[in-house]
Amino acid sequence: MPKPEKWELRLYIAGQTPNSILALKNITKYCKQHLEGRYVIEVIDLLKNPQLAEGDQIFAIPTLVRKVPEPLRKIIGDLSDEEKVLVGLNIRPIAH
């Protein structure tokens, strides 16, 4: 059996705004459901580390970046649409 894939996610926020709080809550929930034990979520607050915005080409807040597995993917918004997030991250195929 192939080694289970590790998921590295980054969530860019700018302070504790309602959108950011909601996005973190949502992605934590989805990961627990679908990637239990195989994920890392790094939260980057751009108010504290503004220099990090350029590297990952962040312009919208909140932005979720899938660093690993490649290729890089981005989802912007509060991540409230679970289906869209999972498809966007390619966590599982479109549900039937």
Task: Summarize as ranges the residues that interact with another protein (CB under 8 A).
Answer: 12, 14, 17, 19, 22-23, 46-47, 50-51, 53-54, 57-63, 72-81, 84-85, 87-88
**Toward another protein, which CB reaches closer, 6 or 84?**
84
**Toward another protein, which CB reaches closer, 23 or 35?**
23
**Toward another protein, which CB reaches closer, 5 or 57?**
57
Task: Find the shortest distance in angstroms from Cβ 12 to another protein.
Answer: 7
Task: Find the shortest distance in angstroms from Cβ 57 to another protein.
Answer: 5
Quickly count: other Cβ atoms within 10 Å of residue 20's Cβ.
Answer: 19
Of 27, 28, 32, 65, nearest in space to 46 by CA: 65
Give the CA angle between residues 44, 48, 56 to the nearest 5°: 45
In sequence order, the 6+-apart residues with CB closer than 8 A to the CB of 20 are: 11, 13, 14, 61, 62
> What radius of gyration, in Å, describes the C-alpha atoms of the chain?
13
Task: Find the shortest distance in angstroms from Cβ 94 to another protein.
Answer: 13
